[in-house]
Amino acid sequence: MSMEETVKESPGTEAEPADESTERATAPGHGDRPPRRATERETLKTAESPASKDEMPPADDMTPFEAVNYQFDCAARRLDLPHNLQVALKTPFREVMVEVPLANEDGSIRTFHGYRVQHNNARGPMKGGLRYHPDVDLDEARALASLMTWKTAVVDIPYGGGKGGIDVDPRELTKTEKERITRTFVDRIHQFIGPNEDIPAPDVNTDAQVMAWIVDEYSKFEGFTPAVVTGKPLEVGGSPGRESATGRGVSAITARAAADHGIDLDGARVAVQGFGNVGSWSARFLADQGARIVAVSDVDGGVFDGDGLDVDRLMEITGAGDSVTTVEGAEPISNDDLLTLDVDILVPAALGGVLHRWNARNVRARLVVEGANAPTTPAADALLEERGVTVVPDILANAGGVTVSYFEWVQNLQQFRWTEEKVDEELVAIMSRAYDAVRDTAAEHRTSLRTAAFMVAIQRVAKAVQVRGV
């Protein structure tokens, strides 16, 4: 390979070469000073150890991967899983990191890092999004790949978990540069993805166009293979209903949870943080069911109207490339203030970690439905549960996207397109069954919906691992 590429697989990961300072630290007579280790290696410790016998309060400063493993441990402790199986289920199957250079018009080169973490393939090919964001790193990719393993198991579709991205701010790229960086990334990971290996999909700052570029670049190596990704344009094998699928799933789960908690969705006050694909479609479908969407936000800030915002108008504005903050007649509000509004239902649908120890006590919503991945830290989760606020976890609430991605993959393999009505009907049926399983498990074991969702998922993946053998 002409450019540096690092691939780590587990088990049997080779030790990284020691630099001079590390060699001195481990040399005889150097005292008891431990060798210097990379941060990403340190966070793996939570995967390499089984759950402790007694539940410990969550730390305030967990990394994303540590947070997911803490949530896993809470469920594994109740399931009494063998220690070796716990470690096997938490440890990523493969981690890929590649250099992604981008040549500028002036001849200079910007270098980014591309990641793909493949967590588990016991139940099928690995599946998960590809995001473009400056904060993308290995620890986040590990965490999100792990969540995809449990998410696909909760809704009982035949996938494992994968996740990845590039640490780039796409707002600083032209469309041509975005295409080039996508194609370079695919060129360097194509041997690790495929319809029966790992199937990327859109995520933060990626869309159907990015997926189309991936199909085209991958097809240069393997022939036309639309099933290599999902979330594609209809013209290259996409599925009707895929664009709105995550939001439709969020609204369906919200309706079920609201009914169980005595909240009449017709007239309920709802705040949605994040007005990208997930947030906007969630808001539209909830409004269609009679909910009042009183606040929404995006990266530039938010807007509030106690009588309810015009969601269709907001979608027109954002569809034209403008911020929700430009809508007429609404009160400006910050993203932070939106999270603590006096509403019935809060839908965090932006980035992870927005609900944390320092603002969880101020959340006034009765029901939190996680449209984003990992928007609530374990410390915030504990505080919200203590205050009687119900949290519907991401691995259940936002699983509509991967569910319809599964439908798209099936259609590609069968070369037969479903109608949008069939897609929507099957999506709601699968989400409803998953909600029933999680709710019933929570009631039986007297635990939170999050721990119950992990319990349902872990049992399904563990059974597959045990049946297949090592």
Distance, in Å, from the CA atom of 251 to the CA atom of 231, rounded to the nearest integer, reads 19
Cβ neighbours for 67, distance < 8 A, ≥ 6 positions apart:
58, 143, 374, 377, 378
Residue type, 260: D
C-alpha closest to that of 182 among 209, 142, 163, 147: 209
Sorted by sequence, the CB contacts under 8 Å of residue 379 that are 6+ apart come out as: 57, 58, 59, 60, 62, 356, 357, 360
**Rounded (10°) angle between helices 208-222 and 175-189:** 40
CA separation (Å) from 138 to 8, 97, 114, 150, 210?
11, 8, 9, 19, 21
Scanning the structure block, which residue is given the tokens 């374990």?
378
Beta carbons of 96 and 6 less than 8 angstroms apart: yes
Q: Which helix (H) or strand (E) covers residue 287, if one does?
A: helix 277-288
Residues 212, 241 contacting (CB under 8 angstroms): no
Neighbours of 162 (CB within 10 A): 34
**Catalytic residue at 163?**
yes
Which residue among the candidates 90, 127, 163, 178 is catalytic per the annotation? 163
Query: Helices 378-386 and 64-79: crossing angle, nearest 10°?
Result: 50
| Angle of the 311-319 helix axis to the 277-288 helix axis, nearest 10 | 160
The span from the CA of 395 to the CA of 253, in Å, is: 12
Contacts of 294 (CB under 8 A, 6+ apart): 269, 270, 271, 304, 305, 306, 307, 308, 309, 341, 343
Cβ(85)–Cβ(67) under 8 Å? no
Active site members: 163
